[in-house]
Chains A and B, each alone.
Chain A
Amino acid sequence: MKKGTLKQILLITDGCSNKGEDPSAVATLAAQQGITVNVIGVLEDNQSEDSMGLQEVEDIAMSGEGVSQIVYKKALSQTVQTVTKQAMTQTLQGVVNQELKQILGPNQTLEELPPEQRGEVMEVVEDLGETSDLEVLVLVDTSASMHNKLPTVQESLIDLSVSMNARIGRNRFAIYAFPGKKKAIDKVLDWSPKLDSISSIFPRLTSGGITPTGPAIKEAMYQFGKSSLKRSFMREDAPDIEEAGY
């Protein structure tokens, strides 16, 4: 069985975009390129869950075929992993569903199978989730309001790396911050298998009010498939797993 690489962008933000193209549109584009866009909206401890325009968080993830979650700072670590893993399962399940449709006809999805057979299919999905290679580009909003959340973000990313590196499949992580000084995004950490070496990785805060989420996602898309990734690790075609059966 051939195994592909799952590609994800993980956007961590605390507010609305206010500059550049519509982030949902860019996320749709990314999804078409085989890159899932997940979004985590971080709330201040005293903030209520619907106080700001966090609707955008959900919209971007929907368009990017990913998972979204709005959390308080304290629960960030656990959320980062849950979201990453859920998105992997979701993507793989999508691929498996595609396969099922091809084999069993256009209306056959996992839910249409009787529970007994569903179990066997899920085992395959789980196996794939454990063994697939994974690339996560973490895109962190470093605008002024995120300032006091960054240490927690950093901690949760190290934790993510601990979790993902317990898998059998290989991992690559990269961290980018936006808005960048001159470009849409600035590189914080180049593609690497572990995140345990990031100490004080986040740069000095650049700007006040602008949050160009759309352009940032777009720029992040281009970071997949750059030469710094091992060649064997790369795949151009959109659905990353071509064969899901044995």
Chain B
Amino acid sequence: MRQISKKQGINLRPGIKVTGKWHQKEYIIKKKLGSGAIGSVYLCEQQDGKPAALKISEKGSSVTMEVNVLKTFQKVQGNRLGPSLLDVDDWIDPQGNRYSFYIMEYLRGKQLSTFVSSHGEEWLGILMLQLLDDLEQLHQTGWVFGDLKTENLIVTYPPPRIRWIDVGGTTQIGRSIKEYTDFYDRGYWNMGSRRAEPSYDLFALAMIMIQFYYPNRFERGTDPKKTLFHKLRQTPPLKKYEPSIIKALKGQYTSSIEMKAELAALIMKQPSSFLQTKQRNHANPSMTQKKSRKYQKRKRTKHHSVLEGVGIFVVVLLFYFIYLILQ
């Protein structure tokens, strides 16, 4: 019953065989994929040789709660929400310690930030539209993602598709957010409650967009709200999304679909963004900003010359008409 653990988490070496106590299925550990507040995730091989992800923890109750969430997702039609759940079981290690684990679909892909920096910044907006679709579906079923952050998102491809991988924070609407990360939490920025509602996720989504340009994040300072808007205004690549980001931060969207519509409209308005991010190297964002600005300037002058041409044509035509009338 007591869950005070002095163990330094669990560490499984590649090659270890994990056998379920209840269902007797065997999994061979391949490598560690990551670890979080609740347990660690490993890549493993199932008995039929297929890869899967194994999440294991000594906190049995937390594992059970995550499994509950994954099961709810399973019921959603189409089931694009989160990885699908394959098995739930306990494992008793050779020392007699009990661990709870579950097996889920292994999503092979890139981290959101890695994908966007290598494939072009125009993907940021587009992937966010995908994410808004998924969030809308999730909210419709009565749940809020909660701990929405860059690290919990993965892009599988081809075709590029955003997927979420850690569902530990998923909370029923109306309850208190189960798990969150300061930087993405509107409560931390003094900009709202920690009650689970769609707008909570939309705030976090806006923070994901901001975070892409601040990989090391930033402190909230003495006036969190001011700091946040200042940082937003300081980031030219976010300019085209700004009206939508601001609304999301202020909690003015009541649904994902609403935000999706407005964000999509903003992205469509800027076809040049597809061209300007053709260059693949985004190691230095300030460089690309400079380049894109130069590009926009060039584009504007081109516009000017076209307008000039039309103007001259109209004036000439006018003179011709006057000439005809006077005749």
Contact = CB atoms under 8 A, between A and B. Distances in A.
Interface of A: 58, 61-62, 65, 67-68, 77-78, 86, 89-90, 93-94, 97, 109-111, 114-116, 118-119, 122-123, 125-126, 130, 159, 162-168
Contacts of B95: none
B187 A162 contact: yes
Contact of A90 (B1, B6, B98, B100): B1
B195 interface: yes
B64 A122 contact: yes
A166 B193 contact: yes
A224 B289 CA distance: 60
A90 B61 CA distance: 9
Interface string B180-201: 0010000110000111100000
Majority DSSP secondary structure for residues of A touching B? helix
A115 B194 contact: no
A238 to B, nearest CB: 15
Contact of A119 (B1, B3, B64, B196): B64
A164 to B, nearest CB: 7
Interface stretch (B170-178, B209-217, B245-253): B170-178
B129 interface: no
Given A115-B90, A162-B187, A68 B4 contact: yes
Nearest to A65: B2
B89 interface: yes
B71 interface: yes
A110 B89 contact: no
B1 A115 contact: no
B4 A115 contact: no
A166 B3 contact: no
Contacts of A166: 175-177, 187, 193-196
Nearest to A78: B182
Contacts of B67: 115, 119
B141 interface: no
B90 A61 contact: no
A68 B65 CA distance: 22
Contacts of B88: 115-116
Given A90-B2, A90-B3, A125-B61, 10 more contacts: A62-B4, A93-B61, A115-B100, A119-B67, A119-B71, A159-B187, A162-B194, A166-B194, A167-B176, A168-B176
A58 B89 CA distance: 30
Given A115-B67, A166-B195, A110 B4 contact: no
